[in-house]
Structure 1
Amino acid sequence: MTVAQRLHVVPGQFLVEHLPNATFPEDDEWIALVRAPEGLTVVREASPFSEAHRWIGFYGDAGHGLDQPGVLAAVAGPLAASGIPVFVASTYHADLVLVPAHRLDEAAEALRDVGHRVADRGAAPGASGGR
């Protein structure tokens, strides 16, 4: 069973970095941090000058409770079935699901195919876009 969601594309592009010897980034220009035994993972907005692998994020318009099962799987599953890698940063209210920037259109189509409503690129959050 798919938990259909209204998703929008987060403005901008992101970088996902691994800092193996850091406990905190040297700046405050980050979006999400995860500290693990193997080091620090940092998600930050991509600089226009960065040549690193870029990611684009999908984010749900409506928050969900922490006890609602299947919400992330409903988004990650169709992307995995389409061979699209993801990186996820979860918040209290929703999940930021990052996909490689060059696969944005393919990812949006895979999500629409299973019933999610994906706002067209550049649409304001809350816009229904898509189908």
Structure 2
Amino acid sequence: EREVGYGITDSWDEIVETLQGAPVSNDMELGGYVREFKTRVRQDMDEIYMRLDDEQTERQLLAGRLNMLFRDMRAHAYTRQLMETEARMSREAWVRATDASHSPTGTGDSFAGTGYHFTGTAGTC
């Protein structure tokens, strides 16, 4: 290795010297190395694609769950609104019934403001 400036080291000569002393490979050995390399690359690519497919499937499942949660959220909001309306109407009916039972006539036979008046006869309104 020799310094060529700016902190860069030239190691090319060392690499060439090392390779010059290495035994020469024939085409058969080289073909074997290429096949092994090709097999490893194919296996790595298969694993990468498998992981990508798994991630894509996981993302699709999460997206489906998220969409379902949004639909549920709207349904729950509508249900909450219905329950609040029903509770309000029940309170109003209770107040009317309470007011009617304390009516000035003392008969307790009318629901104030509802348009209903009981005559006291069973089955008639």
TM-score (norm 1): 0.14
Q: Quick check: which one's strand share is greater? A: 1
Q: Which has the higher contact order (CA 8 A, sep 6+)?
A: 1
Larger Rg: 2
Q: Quick check: which one's helix share is greater? A: 2
